[in-house]
């Protein structure tokens, strides 16, 4: 008993205003940007607000509980959120699958994360996948989404112009808070220009809805496989690298297993895979969070608490977001992903085999569906085939 009291006293002494502020800001940014992408996927699938509320509850609680547990256990500022590539994939492939099939794909990804974590083969598996292929697929998924967002210019050129001009100015004047301010502008426009009843939004608790999983080959190959690859290479790998760069010995085994368990729980309520948040991890692990490195884990705990609060009041979040016009949501989500699109394209063009990356990118971006399976899977197939053919041909090339 005395040990528990001593531990809790230690946690209390480690609390700092900067760490709590960092955790709150990270959650606010997640709800301002990535959640809008999730909402666009729900709109594309014609999902009712009640179902989307369950999704928000699931991803918020999954990310929140994971952040709290891992940060306290590892004494490291572990930041987890939901898979951004997974939400983007939903926009293209979600309309071709039932909700049960999507949940089935999420469960398989969660199981794969748990097994991979227990096996200790995380680094070896990532090395097996050529960076040019994973970078090309990531760039294709995000770039295709960006193109759809740009088409909103035709739907509402005035709103498009206002938001883009505001975004450009804010990224120069207030780069850290640009997306948050942009969402504030969007809500103001929604209330004034579109006369939406923003003032009628009140506190509303989440109403979680269980979904029966269905397993199909189309969902496995079209959603589960690309989601697993992009989540590993695009989120867990850089997330773990960031923590190690700042001197935190966070074992990938514990992080993957915990994220997998959280993902499995979230999946039954429609929540997408829980994944490492690399950019947030960098913010939490830096001196800007707390000069004392041993106390920075509090930022991860704080983010987890705020995520859980967001999950509890998911009804309020959804009631507010659904009032924003669809075209505006598309623009906001595209602008929120602009940095990720830039990074993915840069990584692809600087990979060891640019040609393979471009082939993967083109097939993924095409949006082609073959045999009921989406383009992200076929992008990986073409990319891997091109990469291994290149390796074989290089061996027989005359010196």
The pair of structure tokens assigned to 350 is: 């600087």
**Helix and strand totals (H; E) in the chain:** 22, 2
Among 9-23, 286-300, 303-317, the minimum mean pLDDT is found in 9-23
Give the mean model confidence (pLDDT) for residues 341-366. Answer: 87
Q: How far is CA 321 from CA 161, 197, 365, 378, in A?
A: 21, 12, 28, 34
User: What pLDDT, on a 0 to 100 scale, did the predictor assign at position 297?
Assistant: 87
Closest residue by Cα to residue 267 from 39, 57, 42: 57
User: What pLDDT, on a 0 to 100 scale, did the predictor assign at position 44?
Assistant: 85
Give the mean model confidence (pLDDT) for residues 10-28. Answer: 75
Opening angle at CA 196, ends 192 and 200, nearest 5: 115
Q: How confident is the model at residue 311 (pLDDT cuts 50, 70, 90)?
A: very high
User: What pLDDT, on a 0 to 100 scale, did the predictor assign at position 285?
Assistant: 79
The residue with greater pLDDT, 241 or 143, is 143
30 Cβ neighbours under 8 A, 6+ residues apart: 63, 81, 277, 280, 307
Q: How confident is the model at residue 214 (pLDDT cuts 50, 70, 90)?
A: very high
21 Cβ neighbours under 8 A, 6+ residues apart: none
User: What pLDDT, on a 0 to 100 scale, did the predictor assign at position 27?
Assistant: 83
User: What pLDDT, on a 0 to 100 scale, did the predictor assign at position 319?
Assistant: 86
**Residue 377 and residue 363: Cα distance in Å, rounded?**
9
**Residue 332 and residue 36: Cα distance in Å, rounded?**
7
**Residue 310 and residue 387: Cα distance in Å, rounded?**
43
Is the Cβ–Cβ distance between 289 and 19 less than 8 Å? yes
Coil/strand/helix, residue 188: helix
**Residue 274 and residue 109: Cα distance in Å, rounded?**
10
User: What percent of the chain stands above pLDDT 90?
Assistant: 31
Is the Cβ–Cβ distance between 348 and 141 less than 8 Å? no
Map tokens 């230690």 to a residue.
10
243 Cβ neighbours under 8 A, 6+ residues apart: 76, 77, 78, 250, 281, 285
Beta bridge mates, 370: 373
Give the mean model confidence (pLDDT) for residues 213-235. Answer: 89
128 Cβ neighbours under 8 A, 6+ residues apart: none
Is the Cβ–Cβ distance between 327 and 156 less than 8 Å? yes
Phi, psi (deg, nearest 5) at residue 248: -100, 125
**Residue 33 and residue 104: Cα distance in Å, rounded?**
26
Q: How confident is the model at residue 246 (pLDDT cuts 50, 70, 90)?
A: confident
Judged against a pLDDT cut of 80, whether residue 374 lies above it is answered with: no
Q: How far is CA 286 from CA 280, 291, 322, in A?
A: 10, 8, 35
Judged against a pLDDT cut of 80, whether residue 347 lies above it is answered with: yes
Opening angle at CA 392, ends 386 and 396, nearest 5: 135
Q: Which residues of 252-291 are buried (b: 16+ CB within 10 A; e: fewer)?
A: beebbbbbbbbbbbbbbbbbbbbbbbbbbbbbbbbeebbe
Neighbours of 204 (CB within 10 A): 15
User: What pLDDT, on a 0 to 100 scale, did the predictor assign at position 6?
Assistant: 54
Judged against a pLDDT cut of 90, whether residue 142 lies above it is answered with: no
User: What pLDDT, on a 0 to 100 scale, did the predictor assign at position 335?
Assistant: 83
The pair of structure tokens assigned to 200 is: 């009628």
Judged against a pLDDT cut of 80, whether residue 18 lies above it is answered with: no
Longest dimension (CA), the chain: 74
157 Cβ neighbours under 8 A, 6+ residues apart: none
User: What pLDDT, on a 0 to 100 scale, did the predictor assign at position 105?
Assistant: 96
Average per-residue pLDDT in the chain? 85
User: What pLDDT, on a 0 to 100 scale, did the predictor assign at position 17?
Assistant: 75
Judged against a pLDDT cut of 70, whether residue 300 lies above it is answered with: yes
């Amino acid at each position: 008993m005395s040990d528990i009291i001593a531990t809790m006293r230690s946690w209390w002494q480690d609390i700092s205003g900067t760490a709590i502020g960092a955790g709150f800001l990270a959650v606010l940014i997640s709800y301002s940007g990535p959640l809008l992408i999730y909402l666009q996927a729900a709109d594309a699938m014609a999902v009712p607000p009640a179902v989307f509320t369950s999704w928000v509850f699931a991803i918020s609680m999954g990310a929140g509980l994971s952040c709290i547990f891992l940060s306290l256990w590892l004494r490291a500022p572990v930041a987890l959120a939901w898979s951004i590539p997974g939400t983007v994939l939903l926009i293209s492939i979600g309309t071709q699958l039932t909700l049960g099939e999507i949940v089935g794909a999420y469960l398989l990804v969660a199981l794969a994360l748990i097994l991979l974590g227990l096996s200790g083969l995380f680094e070896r598996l990532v090395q097996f996948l050529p960076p040019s292929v994973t970078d090309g697929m990531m760039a294709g998924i995000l770039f295709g989404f960006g193109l759809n967002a740009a088409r909103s210019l035709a739907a509402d050129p005035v709103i498009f112009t206002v938001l883009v001009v505001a975004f450009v100015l804010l990224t120069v004047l207030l780069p850290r808070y640009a997306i948050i301010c942009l969402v504030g502008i969007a809500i103001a426009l929604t209330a004034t220009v579109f006369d939406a009843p923003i003032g009628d939004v009140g506190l509303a608790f989440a109403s979680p809805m269980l979904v029966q999983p269905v397993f199909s080959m189309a969902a496995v190959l079209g959603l589960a496989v690309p989601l697993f690859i992009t989540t590993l290479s695009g989120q867990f790998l850089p997330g773990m690298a960031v923590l190690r760069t700042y001197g935190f010995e966070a074992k990938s085994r514990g992080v993957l297993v915990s994220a997998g368990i959280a993902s499995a729980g979230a999946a039954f309520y429609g929540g997408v895979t829980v994944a490492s948040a690399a950019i947030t991890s960098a913010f939490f692990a830096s001196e800007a969070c707390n000069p004392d490195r041993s106390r920075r884990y509090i930022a991860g705990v704080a983010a987890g608490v705020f995520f859980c609060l967001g999950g509890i009041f998911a009804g309020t979040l959804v009631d507010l977001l659904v009032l924003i016009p669809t075209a505006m949501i598309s623009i906001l989500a595209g602008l929120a992903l602009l940095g990720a699109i830039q990074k993915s394209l840069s990584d692809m063009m600087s990979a060891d085999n640019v040609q393979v990356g471009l082939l993967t990118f083109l097939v993924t971006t095409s949006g082609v569906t073959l045999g009921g399976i989406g383009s992200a899977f076929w992008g990986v197939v073409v990319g891997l085939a091109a990469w291994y053919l290149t390796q074989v041909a290089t061996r027989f090339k005359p010196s």
